[in-house]
Chains A and B, each alone.
Chain A
């Protein structure tokens, strides 16, 4: 369920936490839903189980996940499946900044980029 890029400058445990934040904020993961076990995630991606545990642990500390005795990790009950718009917007901020930077580097007019983005969002 996670998209892992080992060569990214972003450590794998952060990639997992970031994706959990997004999946939960976007409602793809709902409260109470069980996550795949550390072993399954580690085995599937051939990554170190300690990395997955670390990510799950961090998500638990953030209140995204609850540890269920004997069952593993589940999406926290307190996490509303749809976070506020501002919270969801904040998750998109890094990509927006990246897009703005590329736009400036390519010296493209803002209107053209916004028009194209608008069309993509309508699809």
Chain B
């Protein structure tokens, strides 16, 4: 399970770096999209890219989504993947 989580986290960081143009060394599990100064429209693009990558639907009404950590985002992705395969 640890390896699966790491792979998801790595992919999420890759997507954030690609969509925001940030150097991926600046992004870690503890980062929040707000800390990274990601503009709000890039945030929408990141959410969409993550949904496409993992074939999931992220909650759109979560007011913490921009301030929550990437680790939290990864946990939500993992939860949805587990639910789909259960």
Q: Do A and B bind each other?
A: no
